[in-house]
Structure 1
């Protein structure tokens, strides 16, 4: 039941980047949750382990208040320490099978994928969900990865049965193109973290997601 409930909250994920915030980090997060974010994925670089743990602890309290997921990027130790709902792995993370042994089966394990081949590998490894992208050009991946385009989501959905969360350059003006192709959820960074009003930005996206989820 807990697992099923956590999976249902992957429809709208905010991946954090404190460098984008126009207000304080925690204020931005709270406003985003108030606007309809269902999952916070903590991804903050350049912090010490204690600083990251302290931040994760604060977010665990905040996300619990809003009945939202907290997923920790890469750091299984931090996720365990704050009793997060999941951990998200990349290509430089611990191997999936090791993380599952440490993490158990009640918690979520997500995997970053950029190609259909990577997505199929994640599914074979029994990941609970994948993120896929970048769908559109995005500053966070500039010069690193080419945009795959919304059509690639539809191709992917024909091949995998685990939830696919699209990310990369998604905002209010193009989110419908992503949802039209069958994405189970979206993940955003700058469209909310860098917004003048994170609550309104989140609410606008949440409304459009809700239309597709009915």
Structure 2
């Protein structure tokens, strides 16, 4: 599991661009994991896209995580599956996937974090750390909330929400083990360059600990 620079997809950024070539460019820029997250596609379309992404991510040695859909994650032999409070409970997910893949879980408050420590999950997606345009209904936890969260749990915390290169230092120093981003990469025409900017910002903070595909 390497979620250092963790790219999360989103419907609105793929209306006029090719999914596979865009993801490949981001991987070439240094992304270490890709979460496939779409809300407006058919199961068949997602399955077919995931098959191609599975081959692509394997070729580059990058993790593939599927959001929400445990069935699709199993069907394409993804590395991980990510769920939230409205999805299948993590203990049920664990029964389905066994030890074949790791499980991520979204948490958006320090209070909620106390309730998930016992769950059979491998990492926590925590945010939104900053204001974001990716989600309409989000809860702002702030950098102080992230700092508290990282101290409260023994599980790796992956920060998400409004993280740009100039904020990487603050996020990593707060204790985050990885940075999940959407617009910081997909919001730019040159996604490879955008990914490189995040990698370089991370390397300035955590020297020699980043995996480069």
Q: TM-score, normalised by structure 1?
A: 0.92
CA distance in 2, matches of 1:146, 1:102: 30
Q: Secondary structure, in 3 states, of the residue corresponding to 2:117? A: helix
Q: Which stretch has the larger CA shift, 107-116 or 22-31?
A: 22-31
Residue equivalent to 1:77: 71
Displacement of 1:47 in angstroms is: 0.9
Displacement of 1:118 in angstroms is: 2.1
- Does the 8 Å CA contact 2:150/2:175 hold for their aligned counterparts? yes
Q: Secondary structure, in 3 states, of the residue corresponding to 1:123? A: coil
Q: Deviations over 1:12-71 (max 9, x none)?
A: 100001421463221210110000001000001111111110111111011111100000
Displacement of 1:106 in angstroms is: 3.8
Residue equivalent to 1:108: 102
Provide closer, same or farther for how the CA distance between residues 28 and 39 of structure 1 changes in structure 2, counting only shifts above 3 A. same
- State the 4+ residue runs in structure 1 displaced beyond 6 angstroms: none
Residue equivalent to 1:172: 165
Q: Deviations over 1:81-134 (max 9, x none)?
A: 000001000111111111101101241000000012322322211310010000
Give the root-mean-square deviation of aligned CA atoms: 1.3
1:123-202 alignment runs, 5 A limit: 123-142=117-136, 144-202=137-195
Could you tell me which runs of 5 or more consecutive residues in structure 1 were left unpaired when the two chains were aligned: 1-5
1:51 equivalenced with 2:49 (yes/no): no
Could you tell me which runs of 5 or more consecutive residues in structure 2 were left unpaired when the two chains were aligned: 208-213
- Does the 8 Å CA contact 1:164/1:183 hold for their aligned counterparts? yes
Displacement of 1:179 in angstroms is: 1.3
1:36 equivalenced with 2:69 (yes/no): no
Residue equivalent to 2:210: none
- Does the 8 Å CA contact 2:147/2:175 hold for their aligned counterparts? yes
Displacement of 1:172 in angstroms is: 1.4
Q: Secondary structure, in 3 states, of the residue corresponding to 1:13? A: strand
Displacement of 1:156 in angstroms is: 1.0
Q: Secondary structure, in 3 states, of the residue corresponding to 1:53? A: helix
Residue equivalent to 2:61: 67
1:91 equivalenced with 2:102 (yes/no): no
CA distance in 2, matches of 1:206, 1:175: 9
CA distance in 1, matches of 2:138, 2:43: 28
CA distance in 1, matches of 2:6, 2:113: 19
Q: TM-score, normalised by structure 2?
A: 0.92
